[in-house]
C-alpha cells in the first residue's frame, strides 16, 4: 500500500552545516511529492513539491529531486540556520487521486548556533 518513510530524528546540526533528510515512498504510479514544514506551535506549510520524475522542487534554499528509480525525494540544504529548526514531513499525493496526502513520520531538525 501507499506509504512514506523518513529518516528518524531528531537531527541536530550546527548553524551553516549541510542538511540531508532522507525520504522514500511506495505508491502505485507516480504521485506528486511534497515536503511540508511545521514550526513549533504552528500548522504545516508547504516547503516545496515536485510533480513528475526528475523534477526538482526548491524554496528558501531547500531542494529535493523526484527520483523515480529509487522512489526517493530527499531534502537538502547547503547551510542551515537556527530559524530552520522545525519538524519536516515528506508526503505523497496517494495512488488514487482523491487528494489525500500520505505523510512520513516527520523528522525533527534542531539547529544550534
Partner 1 sequence: DTAVSQTPKYLVTQMGNDKSIKCEQNLGHDTMYWYKQDSKKFLKIMFSYNNKELIINETVPNRFSPKSPDKAHLNLHINSLELGDSAVYFCASSQVSGGIGDTQYFGPGTRLTVL
Q: What angle do CA 1, 23, 95 make, to 5 degrees?
A: 30
Within its chain, how far is the Cα of 108 from the centroid? 11
In whole angstroms, how close is the CB of 58 to partner 1 at the nearest point? Answer: 14
Contact 33, 54 (CB under 8 A): no
- With binding defined as CB under 8 A, does residue 105 bind partner 1? yes
Asked whether position 75 contacts partner 1 by CB under 8 A, the answer is no
Among 12, 51, 79, 81, binds partner 1 (CB under 8 A): 51
DSSP-based three-state secondary structure for 82: helix
The residue whose grid cell reads 544550534 is: 112
Q: Does 66 bind partner 1 (CB under 8 A)?
A: no
Residues near partner 1, by CB under 8 A: 32, 34, 36, 38, 41-46, 49-51, 87, 89, 93, 96-101, 103, 105-106, 108
Amino acid at each position: 500500500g501507499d506509504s512514506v518513510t523518513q529518516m528518524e530524528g531528531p537531527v541536530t546540526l550546527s548553524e551553516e552545516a549541510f542538511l540531508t533528510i532522507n525520504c522514500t515512498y511506495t505508491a502505485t504510479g507516480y504521485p506528486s511529492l511534497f515536503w511540508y514544514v511545521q514550526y513549533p506551535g504552528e500548522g504545516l506549510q508547504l516547503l516545496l513539491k515536485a510533480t513528475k520524475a526528475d523534477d526538482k522542487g526548491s524554496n528558501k534554499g531547500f531542494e529535493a529531486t523526484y527520483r523515480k528509480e529509487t522512489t526517493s525525494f530527499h531534502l537538502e540544504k547547503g547551510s542551515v540556520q537556527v530559524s530552520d529548526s522545525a519538524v519536516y514531513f515528506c508526503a505523497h499525493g496517494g495512488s488514487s487521486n482523491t487528494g489525500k496526502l500520505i505523510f512520513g513520520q516527520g523528522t525533527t531538525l534542531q539547529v544550534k548556533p
